[in-house]
A = this chain, B = another copy of it.
Amino acid sequence: MAVTLKDIAREVGVSVTTVSRGLAGYDDVAAETRERIQEVADQLGYHPNLTARRLQKQRTDTLGFIMPTFGPRFSDPFFSEFLAGIGNEAAGYGYDLLVSTHAPDSDREREAYARAVRGGWVDGLIVVRTRENDERIETLCAHEFPFVAFGRTDCNCDFPYVDEDGAAGMRLIVQHFIDLGHRRIGFIAPPPGLMFGRYRLRSFLSTMAANNLETPPDLVVEGDMTQRGGAEVVERLLNLAERPTAVIAGNDLMAIGALNRIQQRGLRVGQDLAVAGFDDIPLSAYTTPPLTTIHQPIYDIGRRTCAMLIEIINGRPPANPHILLTPELVVRESSGPPRTTN
C-alpha cells in the first residue's frame, strides 16, 4: 500500500492535520516538527494521493482535450504537434491532460462535452477545429465552463481563443500567385462547416476580387482535408476546358494529394501548374517538388492555448483573450509563374 499522512503521523507522533500542514509548508507548525515530518515523509517515500486531494479541493488539476478524429486511418500531422504543445505546457504547470477521441459532431462527442460541463471530470477544456454554429462552444459558454478554443466561431458569446489569421495567410498566397502572373487560380476548399476553412475560402475569393479577377464557380472544388481527397478533386480542376494555371489547396495534406495526381497526369508542378498548400506541415518541405505554403506555428499555438486556459482556471482572466497569429508565406518550388504569360 501507498504511504499516507496517517503513516507519517504515527511515525512522528503527531496528528494527521499537523503532518498535512507541515508538508504544505504552513508557518504555524514548529520548524522542528516540520523538519521531522519532512524527514519521515522522504524516508517513507510519501506522495500525496491525488484522488483524495481532488475530492477535497473540488478540482482535478486536469485539462481535457477532446480530439476530433475521422475514421480509423486517421492521421493528421497537426494533432501530434498540437498535442505536444499543450502537453508540455500543461506539465510545466503541474496539470495532467485527459484526451478523448471522438468523431466530430457525434453523439459521443456531445456526451463527452456534457460530461465535462457537469463538473468534476476536468477543470477546463481545449477545443479545436471550431465549426460554424459550434454547438460545443455554445454549451461551454452557456455553462460558463472554462475553456479556450483554437479557432474562432460565429456564435454570439464572447470566448477566449487563439487563432491563426487564416484570411491574412490566404491573402499572402493569392497575392503571391497574382504577382507571379497567374490569373486563373483554382481552389481546393476545405469542407464547409469548419471555420478555418471558411476564412481561407472567403479570403481566397475576396483577394481575387480585390485584384479584379474572376473566380467562376467551377474553379472552386471541395476536398475532405486528406491527401486522398485532394487527389480526387484536383481532377475536376484539371479536366476543365480552360484549366487554371495555379491551384491553392486549403491545407497541405490536400495539396500533397493534388501534387500526386497532377504529376501522374504528366504535368510539371511549378512549371506547367503552380501549387500551394496551407499549414507548412513538416512534410511539405520534402514533397516533390517542395510545397509553397503558409507556415503555422502549431506547437506554439498549442502552448499558448494551454497557458491561457490555465490562467482562466486559476481565476486570472488573460489581458488579451483573443490572440490572432499572423502567418508567414513560405515559398518553395511548387510555385512559379504561369507557363504562357499572357
Contact = CB atoms under 8 A, between A and B. Distances in A.
Contact of A75 (B50, B88, B228, B281): B281
A204 B50 CA distance: 48
A257 interface: yes
Interface string A101-126: 11000001000000100111100000
Contacts of A115: 47
A69 B299 CA distance: 12
A272 to B, nearest CB: 14
Interface in A14-48: 47
Contact of A288 (B77, B287, B300): B287
Nearest to A77: B75
A172 interface: no
Interface in A57-112: 60, 62, 65, 67, 69, 72-77, 79-81, 83-85, 87-88, 91, 96-102, 108
Contacts of A226: 282
A227 to B, nearest CB: 4
Nearest to A70: B84
A157 interface: no
